[in-house]
Amino acid sequence: MSDTPPESPDFDAMTRDIAEVPAVEVIVTVAVNLMSAAAVKLGLSEEGEKYKDLDEARKLITALAGLLDASATEISSFHAAPLRDGLKSLQLAFREASIVPDEPGQGPGEKYTGPVYG
C-alpha cells in the first residue's frame, strides 16, 4: 500500500470538459441512460428477473417521457424520433410485464405521450 493520498478530482478540468459538450448531446446521453436503466428494471437485461422492479421502471420511464416532452423542441427530430421509439418500446414492455396492466393513458409516461397501444 502507498502512503500517498488518492488524488482528488480536478473539478476545473471537469467543468471545462462539460462546457464543450453541446446541450443536445447531454440530453440524448441522459435519455439513453434512463432508457438503459428502465430496460434493466423491466427485466430485459441478460440477468432478467434478478433486477426486475416494475415500480422503479415506472419512475424511470416517466422521467424519460417528461425529458423527451420537455426537450422535443430543443432537439431535432433526427435525435428525438429514435428516442420516442425507444420510449414506446419500454412502455409496451412495461404493459406486457405488468400482472394487472394500467388502463390506456395511465401507464408510465403516458401523461406526456398519450395512450400507448401495441
**pLDDT tens column, 8-24:** 778 777 677 888 999 99
Q: How many CB atoms lie within 10 A of CB 107?
A: 22
37-70 pLDDT tens trace? 999 999 999 988 899 999 999 999 999 999 999 9
Label residue 96 by pLDDT band (50, 70, 90): very high
Integer Cα distance of 68 and 71 in angstroms: 5
27-46 pLDDT tens trace? 999 999 999 999 999 999 99
C-alpha cell at 73: 423542441
CB 35 within 8 A of CB 64: yes
CB 49 within 8 A of CB 19: no
